[in-house]
Chains A and B, each alone.
Chain A
Amino acid sequence: MLDMDMLLARAGNFTGSQNHRLMAGWSKPKPKLNIFEGALNVYEAIKELQANGEKILVGTINAHTGLKFNGAQIKSVQDIIKAEKVPQGLITYAEEKALEELFNVDPSLNFSTVHTRNGEEREVECMEILSEKTGIDFINTGENQAHIHVNGVGCTPDGIAIDDIDMIYTGAEVKCKSPLEHAHSLFINNTNDLKEQAFDHFVQCQTGMLVTGSDHWYFANYNPYAKSELLQFKYIVVQRDDAFIAIMQERINLAKEIKAEFLAKVLENVAKPAPSQAEAA
């Protein structure tokens, strides 16, 4: 749980801990329209029929284009159109970010439990262990965490390390979870494992690197109740994934557009006077 100052600082920003919501289906290759001759004609026909609310049938497509296509060809174009759709998760996330600009933080929705508070306290301990193991002096930990944001994208690392010119050169995300979740985290040995097994944390680390320009990040897990000391703590170094960051940046740009449109829509409707009784009738 973050304190109120931090929530206010983060308001409206696309933040590392939530940016996985932008990324549904991110790894699917972009479909191309040169899959067969005339695919573009089918694409335009489907779009037009959809806009008119008509059913997509082989016959109607052929009639519309004046050409002859089979069901499989039409289906492959339909898949391309489907892939163009913006994921619903991204839309919801963008709209929530828009509302953070219009609404204050409701403190009752930000309550902590004994478990989250224990986790927070352990995160500080975990950062101390990480510093000890890596020899890196991580600062801005615990209640001194910093929220760094550039152009509406932000991250709140659990710790950052500073170089000799006071710039952040790396940061850390630490997790202090239940025994089961902690045990699963022990299977993560490198960047690729993190991407496959804890995608949300992978996105969080990559967002940290996007925002700070760093080329690596630390990801650590800690549970002091493991009976063996060997099981209590583990960390990996996460490498910057430029290809992934480029896709994430595209999605962020798209989400920013949706956020702006939604904000405008809400404000436009506020500005509209309520209809009179006669108009309503």
Chain B
Amino acid sequence: MNQISVRETQVKDCLELEAISQQLSSLLDKNPRKMEAFKTRMLKISLGFGLDKCTPESIINCGLQALTLDLPLEHGQGYIVNYGGKATFDAGYKGWQILAKRAGFSVMADVVYSCDEFSQDGFGFNSEMIFKQNLGLRKGANDVWAKANLTGVIVSVREDESDKTTTAFVPADMINKIVATSPSQKTDNAKKFSPHSNWAEQMFKAKAIKQVLSKFPIDLAVASQLADAIGIIDATEIAAQKQVAKDDRSYPDERFEEVYPKWKAIVQEGKKDAITILSDLAARFALTKSQSNKLRELKNFEPIEGEK
């Protein structure tokens, strides 16, 4: 069996799991045509570039989440992003606008770049924002430029019933914390795939809207989908942060210097070999060359055989 056939079998196996079939059947009102279409779409997505290494369960779960929120995985409404081999669902700018609209809010987002005129004055109910786009210098369609020059995003939320408008500014730091560190855009190949890289401005807006809506008082009775979406994307963001923590495997120098004398002592007492200490740490941390060399020096403190 070649790799693609193996992958297809895995995805098909997973789609046949009772729990998934039941959920699908309930979400699609037992409509066999829609269910088949969903399965075909999941199979296609699972074989697609960037997601072909994700577990089938995680991809199908994203598909089910998209169905729950009634957001198609296309037209910029919903995305699937690979975080450390696990597919996670992410909503796009348009997706958030649709979800907000269903909950009775109109949402707009304006991206502020370093070339624009922007200032905030006052605080609380009296805060005032001044924003003038410098259209001559802005290159929002250029993803590299957009990321390098992002100042933040202004999010405006209007309650449709009362016409009451709220405006909030989400700074670049906050957005970068979520978007720029996304592992799905770490390698060159993944960059080609990642919605965070290819549609940077759209994702800035989406992340900023989510950030503002998640702090917004929402009536769950009329906005359950919006609340569900916030919950789902919270999980996506946690997955991203966990992945970043996993990628940062360095062992702090300060801690190394603090503990080194204790390692030396247990080597001298014959409790552990130098190589065991080195292997233990090297398995869990990306040690620097100098740290590795210093750990190798512990060999000189091992007791002579028979003296242990």
Contact = CB atoms under 8 A, between A and B. Distances in A.
Interface stretch (B67-75, B210-218, B267-275): B267-275
B143 interface: no
A167 B280 contact: yes
Nearest to A148: B283
A150 to B, nearest CB: 4
A149 B283 contact: yes
B259 to A, nearest CB: 5
Interface string A161-199: 000011110000000000000000000000000000000
B128 interface: no
Contacts of B275: 150-151
B259 A117 contact: no
Interface in B248-301: 255, 259, 262-263, 266, 271-273, 275-277, 279-281, 283-284
B10 A212 contact: no
B85 interface: yes
A108 B259 contact: no
B276 A140 contact: no
B106 interface: no
Interface residues of A, number: 24
Interface size, B (range): 20 to 34
A117 B57 CA distance: 9
Contacts of B263: 165, 167
Contacts of B273: 150, 213
The residue among B246, B271, B279 with the most chain A CB atoms within 10 A of its own CB is: B279
Interface string A60-72: 0000000000000
Given A117-B55, A140-B284, A166-B259, A108 B3 contact: yes
The 5 closest A-B pairs by CB, nearest first: A148-B283, A150-B279, A146-B283, A165-B262, A111-B6
Interface of A: 3, 107-108, 111-114, 117, 140, 143-144, 146-151, 165-168, 211-213
Interface of B: 1-3, 6, 9-10, 13-14, 17, 55, 57, 84-86, 246, 255, 259, 262-263, 266, 271-273, 275-277, 279-281, 283-284
Given A114-B13, A117-B57, A211-B276, 6 more contacts: A111-B10, A114-B17, A143-B85, A147-B283, A148-B283, A165-B266
